[in-house]
């Protein structure tokens, strides 16, 4: 689960990481009240779970009440990369001398934690990685040994942080590592981590991803979950009891079994397509489940074609074929459907479908053929 910046900063604060004083605001008046409380100048910041808010006009400095009104009014309702701003974070503005970058995440292949630190912060780290990879000091951390202050001190020197920032930055990084490990995060990122003109180091931004596998030991995460903005498709799927994850492509996927569903995504990708979703309809691919699945995928405006990939095991293909026909009798599906049905009673299943095949109800004998057909339709 990704946190909003203000929640990330609250999380940081629990581990003693310095952040600017501020508060959330859902209206212009609330923004003004926070500004009056923390003192001018302030920064008015869009709270959306997407990066690059600054560039998109979602981060503005305000010197007085009038400017807070103007900026809060413009930023509320702003669309940043498809995320509409409903909440602001208003904090005391910092006088920035230098901007750095710091993060911890998991290096899965090497089974260690990975720290990244750079004296070039405030810009996208992907850009730094591309243009000047040596500007990022990578630190592999053995999860059993952890990160001690002595290592953090060497690290900040290696990254070329300014002398006067080093001692504070090293201490902050140890705390950030604590937050990342004890706080059960998949990612903690500060961009920018700043050195102020007055010589103090603190976090100006916060990107935190919580590891949901650890949610059983964090009842306090409930407050974060309450503000989670769910994909409307995923909400509908949940209501229907379907195992669905929304993606960005245009090939709708229905498969039985999580493994087959994932392979289907891979094959669609391999032949040049993009999946609109992951959907595992499980073992009982009967008419009810199939109708619910088809209806859900069909309601996704991005979907141009639906790829049904079912391998009959305990579920027999003739039952699936009957289920598909029954479902099509009940719900109106606007996108063409490409089916790949194989496994137990595949011949009987295909025979059931044969009289109903058309330009919009197509079968292919293999998964690869079906993927190619579906992608060709989507890309037409
Ligand atoms: P992002 O664009 O979504 O990463 O949002 P950030 O919170 O990182 O803010 C973007 C940029 O706004 C930062 O890199 C800073 O340059 C600037 N900014 C944010 N807060 C302040 C502040 O308190 N004072 C000043 N002078 N600039 C700020
Ligand atoms: Mn940032």
pTM score above 0.85: no
Average pLDDT over residues 307-319: 90
Instruction: Give the model confidence (pLDDT) of 18-72 as tens digits.
Output: 999 999 999 999 999 999 999 999 999 999 999 999 999 999 999 999 999 999 9
Comparing C-alpha atoms, which of 189, 366, 169 is closest to residue 263? 366
CATH architecture assigned to 96-225: 2-Layer Sandwich (3.30)
Mean pLDDT for the chain overall: 95
Question: Which contacts (CB < 8 Å, 24+ apart) does range 165-174 have?
Answer: 165/98, 165/100, 165/195, 165/201, 168/200, 168/201, 169/100, 169/102, 169/193, 169/201, 172/17, 172/18, 172/102, 172/201, 172/202, 172/203, 173/102, 173/115, 173/117, 173/147, 174/147, 174/148, 174/149
Instruction: Give the model confidence (pLDDT) of 255-283 as tens digits.
Output: 999 999 999 999 999 999 999 999 999 87
Give the residues surrounding ligand 1 with Cβ less than 6 Å away: 43, 45, 51-54, 59, 61, 93-94, 96, 99, 122, 191-192, 204-205
Please, which pLDDT band fits residue 285 given cuts at 50, 70 and 90?
low
Ligand whose nearest atom lies closest to the CA of 204: 1
Contacts of 323 (CB under 8 A, 6+ apart): 285, 286, 287, 289, 290, 291
Q: Where are the domains of the chain?
A: 21-92, 96-225, 232-379
The tokens describing 161, both together, are: 């942080």
Element (H, E) at 14: helix 5-14
On the question of a common fold for 21-92 and 232-379, the answer reads no
CA of residue 90 to ligand 2 center, whole Å: 15
Q: State the Cα angle at 248 between 276 and 55, rounded to 5°.
A: 175
Residues 6, 11, 100, 101: which is the catalytic one?
101
Best of 3, 192, 198 for a ligand 1 pocket test (most atoms within 8 Å of beta carbon): 192
User: Which CATH class, in words, describes the domain spanning 21-92?
Assistant: alpha beta
Average pLDDT over residues 84-104: 97
Distances (CA, A) of 252 to 179, 223, 372: 39, 33, 14
The pLDDT score that the predictor gives to residue 70 is 98
Active-site annotation holds for 189 = yes
CATH architecture assigned to 232-379: 3-Layer(aba) Sandwich (3.40)
């Amino acid at each position: 689960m990704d946190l909003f910046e203000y929640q990330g900063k609250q999380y940081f604060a629990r581990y003693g990481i310095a952040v600017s004083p501020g508060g959330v605001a859902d209206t212009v008046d609330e923004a003004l009240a926070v500004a009056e409380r923390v003192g001018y100048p302030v920064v008015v910041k869009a709270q959306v779970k997407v990066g690059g808010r600054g560039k998109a006009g979602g981060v503005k400095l305000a010197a007085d009440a009038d400017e807070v009104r103007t900026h809060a009014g413009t930023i509320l309702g702003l669309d940043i990369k498809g995320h509409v701003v409903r909440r602001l974070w208003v904090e005391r503005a910092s006088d920035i001398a230098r901007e750095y970058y710091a993060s911890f995440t998991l290096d899965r292949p090497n089974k260690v934690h990975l720290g990244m630190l750079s004296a070039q912060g405030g810009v996208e780290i992907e850009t730094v990685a591309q243009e000047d990879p040596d500007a990022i000091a990578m630190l592999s951390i053995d999860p059993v040994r952890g990160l001690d202050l002595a290592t953090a001190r060497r690290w900040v020197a290696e990254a070329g942080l300014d002398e006067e920032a080093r001692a504070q930055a090293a201490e902050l990084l140890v705390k950030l590592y604590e937050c990342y490990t004890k706080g059960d995060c998949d990612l903690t990122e500060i961009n920018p981590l700043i050195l102020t003109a007055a010589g103090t180091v603190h976090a100006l931004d916060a990107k935190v991803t919580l590891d949901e596998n650890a949610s059983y030991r964090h009842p306090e995460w409930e407050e974060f979950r309450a503000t989670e903005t769910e994909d409307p498709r995923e909400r509908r799927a949940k209501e229907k009891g379907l195992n669905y994850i929304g993606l960005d492509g245009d090939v709708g996927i229905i498969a039985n079994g999580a493994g087959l569903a994932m392979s289907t995504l891979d094959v669609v990708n391999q032949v040049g397509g993009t999946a609109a979703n992951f959907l595992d309809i499980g073992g009982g691919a009967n008419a009810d489940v199939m109708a619910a699945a088809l209806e859900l995928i069909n309601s996704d405006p991005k979907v141009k074609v639906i790829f049904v990939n079912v391998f009959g095991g305990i579920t027999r293909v003739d039952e699936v074929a009957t289920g598909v026909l029954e479902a099509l009798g009940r719900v109106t599906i606007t996108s063409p459907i490409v089916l790949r049905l194989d496994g137990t009673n595949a011949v009987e299943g295909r025979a059931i479908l044969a009289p109903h095949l058309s330009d919009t109800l197509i079968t292919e004998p293999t998964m690869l053929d079906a993927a190619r057909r579906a992608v060709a339709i989507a890309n037409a």
